[in-house]
Amino acid sequence: MSKFFSFLSNSFNDLIHKVSWQRFNDLFDDTWYVILVCIVMALFVGLCDICLKMILPFIYKII
């Protein structure tokens, strides 16, 4: 049990003192990039869905 608490203590100390964290402004900017990419991907997938709904009935009539 002592090893477990030692591990937790060392992990906590590493997390606090050895890890470099991003500044809030950088994190905020990166978040906006992720949101923008998600919106663009959602629009692309929606556009593909609409196009396929329009095209597939014609293909099914041919087959």
**Number of folded domains in the chain?**
1
Say if 48 falls within a structural domain. Answer: yes
- The range of the structural domain enclosing residue 48 comes to 24-63
pTM over cut 0.75: no
- What is the Cα–Cα distance from 2 to 39, expressed in whole angstroms? 49
Q: Is 1 helix (H, G, I), strand (E, B) or coil?
A: coil
Say if 35 falls within a structural domain. Answer: yes
Say if 1 falls within a structural domain. Answer: no
Q: pLDDT tens for residues 9-36?
A: 999 999 888 888 889 898 988 999 999 9
At 21 the pLDDT is: 83
Q: pLDDT tens for residues 40-54?
A: 999 999 999 999 999
At 48 the pLDDT is: 98
Say if 30 falls within a structural domain. Answer: yes
DSSP annotation string for 18-54: TPPPPPHHHHHHHHHHHHHHHHHHHHHHHHHHHHHHH
Residue for token pair 């709904």: 53
- DSSP letter assigned to residue 14: H
Say if 10 falls within a structural domain. Answer: no
Say if 33 falls within a structural domain. Answer: yes
> Which two structure tokens, joined as six digits, stand for 37?
């990419």
- Examine the pLDDT at 38 and tell me if it is beyond 90: yes
